[in-house]
């Protein structure tokens, strides 16, 4: 099946009928079958969407994002409220073993730093310092090697004056957009299993409604880093947004097998949740980049 990522940039009305999302613009109506949709991104403040359309998008676990006046993601859907969520599942999440949470977090950070090292190497950076910090990684990352390596990593691939959180560096908007695409996909998978996004294994901010997603995303950020920095993407225009969204449709190597990013995330989230719920005795995962294919699957409406 050819999954579609639909990127809406024109004023429109979005509604639902007979298993189709209808996007009505001044030029006519576009019918999008729910069975074929992977994501729907609205990148215009002049779009109107019906409650029925939103409900059906959520029911079908289609990634959904809507941009704000600055054309950055401001609204996402995770999952409909219903039988998916249960007191039993929420109680199990609250009581996840501290040892399992720390073990999983350590493996996530090991893979994150390893992928950062690979990305920096491909950009011709000296990664000896990063490797030394990876060797210092302890159970639960008690010495916060993740943060130390992150500062070193971005100074290597973006320059010593680069500051990750400053808007004066346009590339930050591109990274944030790419990360939001990944976060939204991971959130849909977590919610689809009936677990709360707010209760993380490491992140615990009261201001973050996606603590668990923020934990699980860490091993995957390199996918956007690699694309943004290798292609020197600094302009968050419509075409570049569509290309960032389309990274979900590119192949990577996950646990030794070629997978689309979106499918690998599905497997990864399922494995992580099974481990936390003691349905697996151990967990291991490898996420590696492979040569890009030429397919571009994002469509513009």
Average pLDDT over residues 150-156: 96
Instruction: Please tell me the predicted confidence (pLDDT) of residue 292.
Output: 53
Q: Is residue 82 part of a domain?
A: no
Q: Look up residue 34 and give its DSSP letter.
A: G
Residues whose CB is less than 8 angstroms from the CB of residue 54 and which lie 6 or more positions away in sequence, other chains included: 64, 77
Q: Is residue 287 part of a domain?
A: yes
Question: What is the band of 188 on the pLDDT scale with cuts at 50, 70, 90?
Answer: confident
Residue 128 and residue 51 share a domain: no
pLDDT tens for residues 107-125? Answer: 999 999 999 999 999 999 9
Residue 101 and residue 62 share a domain: no
Select from 27, 53, 76 the last residue of a domain: 76
Residue 209 and residue 110 share a domain: yes
> Tokens 């579609």 sit at which residue?
4
Q: Is residue 137 part of a domain?
A: yes
For the entire predicted model, the pTM comes to 0.85
Domain that holds residue 38: 4-76
How far is Cα 144 from Cα 105, in angstroms, rounded to an integer? 12
Residue 114 and residue 63 share a domain: no
First vs last C-alpha separation in the chain: 21
Mode of pairing for the β-strands spanning 257-260 and 4-8: unpaired
Residue 59 and residue 136 share a domain: no
pLDDT tens for residues 61-78? Answer: 888 888 776 555 667 776
Q: Say yes or no to pLDDT of 297 above 60.
A: no
CATH number of residue 242's parent domain: 1.20.120.920
User: H/E element holding 5?
Assistant: strand 4-8
Residue 130 and residue 267 share a domain: yes
Q: Is residue 213 part of a domain?
A: yes
Question: 249 with 4: CB under 8 angstroms?
Answer: no
Strand partners of residue 124? none
CATH number of residue 20's parent domain: 3.100.10.20
Task: Take residue 48 and report the two structure tokens written for it.
Answer: 């109107």
Select from 20, 48, 76 the last residue of a domain: 76
Residue 114 and residue 16 share a domain: no
How far is Cα 117 from Cα 221, in angstroms, rounded to an integer? 12
Total domains in the chain come to 2
Residue 18 and residue 109 share a domain: no
Select from 47, 76, 105 the last residue of a domain: 76
Residue 190 and residue 57 share a domain: no
Residue 104 and residue 35 share a domain: no
Residue 64 and residue 172 share a domain: no
Residue 293 and residue 162 share a domain: yes
Strand partners of residue 33? 20
Question: What is the band of 290 on the pLDDT scale with cuts at 50, 70, 90?
Answer: confident
How far is Cα 64 from Cα 42, in angstroms, rounded to an integer? 8
Q: Three-state SS string across 163-210, please? A: CCCCCCCCHHHHHHHHHHHHHHHHHHHHHHCCCCCCCCCCCCCCCCCC
């Amino acid at each position: 099946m050819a999954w579609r990522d639909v990127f809406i940039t024109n004023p429109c009305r979005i509604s639902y009928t007979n298993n189709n999302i209808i996007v009505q613009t001044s030029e006519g109506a576009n019918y999008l079958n729910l069975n074929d949709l992977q994501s729907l991104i609205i990148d215009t403040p002049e779009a109107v969407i019906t409650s029925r359309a939103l409900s059906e998008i959520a029911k079908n676990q289609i990634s959904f994002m809507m941009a704000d006046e600055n054309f950055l993601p401001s609204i996402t859907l995770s999952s409909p409220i219903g039988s998916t969520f249960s007191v039993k599942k929420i109680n199990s999440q609250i009581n996840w073993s501290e040892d399992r949470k720390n073990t999983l977090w350590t493996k996530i950070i090991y893979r994150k730093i390893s992928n950062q090292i690979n990305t920096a190497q491909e950009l011709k950076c000296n990664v000896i310092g990063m490797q030394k910090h990876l060797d210092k990684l302890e159970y639960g990352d008690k010495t916060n090697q993740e943060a130390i390596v992150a500062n070193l990593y971005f100074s290597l691939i973006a320059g010593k004056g680069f500051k990750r959180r400053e808007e004066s560096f346009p590339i930050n908007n591109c990274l944030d957009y790419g990360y939001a695409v990944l976060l939204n996909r991971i959130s849909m998978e977590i919610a689809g299993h009936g677990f709360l996004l707010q209760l993380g294994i490491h992140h615990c901010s009261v201001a973050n409604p996606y603590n668990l997603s923020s934990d699980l995303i860490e091993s995957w950020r390199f996918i956007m880093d690699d694309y943004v920095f290798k292609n020197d993407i600094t302009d968050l225009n419509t075409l570049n947004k569509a290309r960032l969204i389309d990274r979900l449709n590119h192949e990577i190597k996950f646990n030794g097998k070629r997978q689309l990013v979106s499918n690998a995330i599905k497997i990864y989230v399922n494995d992580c949740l099974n481990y936390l719920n003691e349905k697996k005795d151990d967990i291991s995962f490898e996420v590696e980049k492979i040569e890009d294919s030429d397919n571009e699957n994002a469509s513009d409406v």
